[in-house]
Structure 1
Amino acid sequence: MTTNSASARYEGLGKAGKGSITTRSGVLSDQPYGFGTRFEGQPGTNPEELIAAAHAACFTMATSFALAAAGHADGTLDTQCTVTLEKDGDGFAVTRSALTLNASIPGIAPEDFARIADEAKANCPISKLLNCEVTLEKSLEG
C-alpha cells in the first residue's frame, strides 16, 4: 500500500475567497486556486486541472508497464487529458475525462497497441476512481 497527501487552505468565502494547495512532495507549494482560476482563466490551478494531470500520468504509466509486460522495450507515450466540469443541479459535476494518446512503439501491431491502451484505460487506478465517462482516443506513429 502507498499513501500520498495534499492540503488545501481557503481564506475568505465564496467568490471572494482565495485558496492554496500544497502537496506532501512539495511539487505544489501554496499554489493559488479559487473561483477565478477555476472559472475565469486566472493564473493558478484548480481541482479539475489536477485531476487531468493525475489521470494523464496514471494512464500513461499503466500503458507503459503493460507494453513492457507484453515484451516491448522502447517507445514514447504522450497523453493529453481534458476533464470536463458541468453544471449539475445546484452544483457542478465532473462529467468526462478524455484521454488522447499519441504513441510511437517500434514493432507493435496496431491491434495489440489498441488492446493494451484500452486495458490500461480501464484498469489504471485513476480511471477506476473517477465516477464519470472516461474516453480514449489513440494514435500510433510509424
Structure 2
Amino acid sequence: MTTRTASARYDGLGRDGKGHITSQSGVLDETPYGFGTRFGDEKGTNPEELVAAAHASCFTMALAFALAGAGHEDGKLETTAKVTLDKDGAGFKVTRSDLTLTASVPGIEPAEFEKIAAEAKANCPISKLLTAEITLTHTLD
C-alpha cells in the first residue's frame, strides 16, 4: 500500500488570508494558494487545478497500463481534465471533471480503444476518489 501526503496552511482568514501547499515529494513547496488564485489570476495554484492535474495524470497512466496489458506496445496519450467549481447554496461544489483525451495507438481498433479507455476512466483511483467517503479528524488549539 502506498500513502502520499500533502499539507496546507492558511495564514489569516477569508479573502485576506494567504495559503501555502507543500507536498511530500517537494514538487509543491510552500506553493501559494488563496482567494486570488482560486477566483482570480494571481500566481499560485488552487484545489480544483490540483484535482484536475491528479485526475488527468491518473487516468492517462491507467489507460497506458491497460493498453500495454492488452498487448499494445507503442502510443502517445494526452489528457486534459477540466474540473468545474459551481455555486452550491452559500458555498461551492465541484460538480464535474471532464476528461479530453487525444491518443495515438498504432494498430488498435476503435471499439477496443473505446472499451479500454472507458474502463480506465471508471477504474483509475482518482475517478474512484471523486465518489469516495471522506473522513475528518481534528484538533483545536
Tell me, in whole angstroms, the C-alpha distance in 1 between the residues paired with 2:3 and 2:127.
18
Partner of 1:136: none
Number of residue pairs aligned between Structure 1 and Structure 2: 132
The equivalent of 1:33 in structure 2 is 33
Identity across matched positions, percent: 70
C-alpha separation in 2, matches of 1:29 and 1:56:
21
Offset of residue 41 of structure 1: 1.8
Q: 1:95: how far off?
A: 0.2
Residue 50 (structure 1) aligned with residue 33 (structure 2): no
Paired residue type of 1:37: T
* C-alpha displacement of 1:104: 0.3
Q: Deviations over 1:24-53 (max 9, x none)?
A: 000010100000000012111000000000
Q: Does 1:12 align with 2:5?
A: no
AA at the equivalent of 1:8: A
| Letter aligned with residue 115 of structure 1 | K
Aligned-partner Cα distance in 1 for 2:90–2:24: 33
Residues 9-32 of structure 1 show CA distances to partners (whole Å, capped at 9, x for unaligned) of 100100000000000000010100
Q: Deviations over 1:95-128 (max 9, x none)?
A: 0000001000000001101110000000001001
Q: Secondary structure at the match of 1:103?
A: strand
> Which amino acid in structure 2 is aligned with residue 127 of structure 1?
S
CA distance in 1, matches of 2:75, 2:121: 18
* Match of residue 117 from structure 1: 117
More strand by share: 1
Give the Cα separation in 2 of the matches to 1:89 and 1:125.
Answer: 29
The letter of the residue matching 1:86 is D
Alpha-carbon separation, structure 1, partners of 2:3 and 2:41: 31
Which stretches of structure 1, 4 residues or more, deviate above 4 A after TM superposition? none
Q: Distance in 1 between matches of 2:54 and 2:114?
A: 22
Structure 2 length-normalised TM:
0.92
Instruction: Report deviation, 1:64.
Output: 0.3
Q: State the distance in 1 between where 2:35 and 2:44 align.
A: 10
In structure 1, distance between residues paired with 2:108 and 2:121: 18
Confirm whether residue 102 of structure 1 aligns to residue 102 of structure 2: yes
Structure 2 Cα separation of the partners of residues 40 and 92 of structure 1: 16
Query: Which consecutive residues of structure 1, in runs of 5 or more, have no partner in the other structure?
Result: 132-142
